[in-house]
């Protein structure tokens, strides 16, 4: 290769080539930069839009849950409270009326009855009354039979027992004893549970 050829080759590599590359870069770099900027903006805009969509969806679901779920939950709670109240009222209203269930007042032990008047004193007073006079306004009115004393009942310590305890002891008693218990109970506390049980056993 001649010296001229080598010189031209050197000029191509050392002068013209760098100048050409510089001019190419000057022309193309803004284009690539703009391309990269546009691509970055598009990517960031897409991500921002996705995030906004997710936030809006979560907000809509929260509002729906508050507006729709709250009243539904409140309605279910109110229905449950109403059912519980009705059940309690039915239990309290029917206690003691069916199946011999004792009343709250029936279960309390009764105080010992006050001792009755002395029959001998009553008879002496009756003997001192003038003949032909009566304390009753009508001679046709029948005097009710006196209730038996608690000590004569076949159930010991009757006045100390609750209604449910008395009911447990009524099974197997003869009719005469049941009548005595009924007469005593009607004259004193008249507990419905006991009277209803005696009615069942004697019917």
Mean of pLDDT values over 27-32: 82
**Between residues 108 and 49, which one has the greater pLDDT?**
49
Mean of pLDDT values over 126-154: 55
Within the chain, where are the H helices?
A: 3-11, 17-64, 70-94, 104-107, 119-128, 163-168, 175-187, 192-202
Prediction pTM value: 0.32
| C-alpha triplet 71, 73, 60: angle, nearest 5° | 60
Q: What is the CA radius of gyration of the chain?
A: 54
In tens, the pLDDT along 14-27 reads: 887 888 888 888 88
Checking if the pLDDT of 58 tops 60, the result is yes
Which pLDDT value is given to residue 136? 40
> Band of the pLDDT at 142, cuts 50, 70, 90?
very low
Instruction: Find the range with the poorest average confidence among 102-111, 158-167, 168-177.
Output: 102-111
Q: How far apart, in whole angstroms, are the C-alpha atoms of residue 166 and residue 170?
A: 7
* Average pLDDT for the chain: 74
Checking if the pLDDT of 133 tops 50, the result is no
> Band of the pLDDT at 120, cuts 50, 70, 90?
very low
Q: How far apart, in whole angstroms, are the C-alpha atoms of residue 187 and residue 174?
A: 20
Q: How far apart, in whole angstroms, are the C-alpha atoms of residue 46 and residue 39?
A: 11
Could you tell me what percent of the chain has a pLDDT over 90?
15
133: left (phi over 0), alpha (psi -120 to 50) or beta: beta
How would you class 98 by CB atoms within 10 Å of its CB: exposed for 0-12, middle for 13-18, buried for 19 or more? exposed
Checking if the pLDDT of 137 tops 50, the result is no
Distance of alpha carbon 4 from its chain centroid, rounded?
A: 109
Cα torsion through 91, 93, 97, 101, rounded to 10: 40
């Amino acid at each position: 290769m001649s010296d001229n050829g080598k010189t031209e080759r050197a000029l191509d590599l050392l002068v013209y080539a760098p100048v050409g590359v510089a001019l190419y870069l000057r022309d193309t770099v803004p284009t690539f930069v703009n391309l990269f900027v546009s691509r970055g903006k598009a990517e960031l805009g897409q991500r921002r839009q996705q995030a906004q969509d997710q936030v809006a969806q979560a907000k809509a679901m929260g509002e729906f849950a508050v507006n729709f779920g709250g009243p539904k939950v409140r309605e279910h709670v109110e229905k449950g409270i109403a059912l519980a109240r009705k059940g309690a009222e039915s239990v309290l209203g029917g206690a003691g009326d069916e199946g011999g269930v004792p009343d709250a007042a029936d279960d309390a032990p009764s105080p010992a009855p006050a001792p009755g008047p002395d029959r001998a004193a009553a008879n002496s007073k009756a003997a001192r009354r003038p003949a032909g006079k009566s304390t009753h306004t009508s001679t046709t009115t029948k005097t009710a039979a006196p209730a038996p004393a608690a000590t004569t009942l076949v159930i010991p310590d009757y006045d100390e027992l609750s209604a449910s305890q008395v009911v447990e002891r009524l099974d197997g008693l003869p009719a005469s004893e049941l009548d005595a218990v009924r007469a005593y109970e009607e004259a004193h506390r008249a507990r419905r549970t006991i009277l209803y049980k005696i009615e069942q056993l004697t019917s």
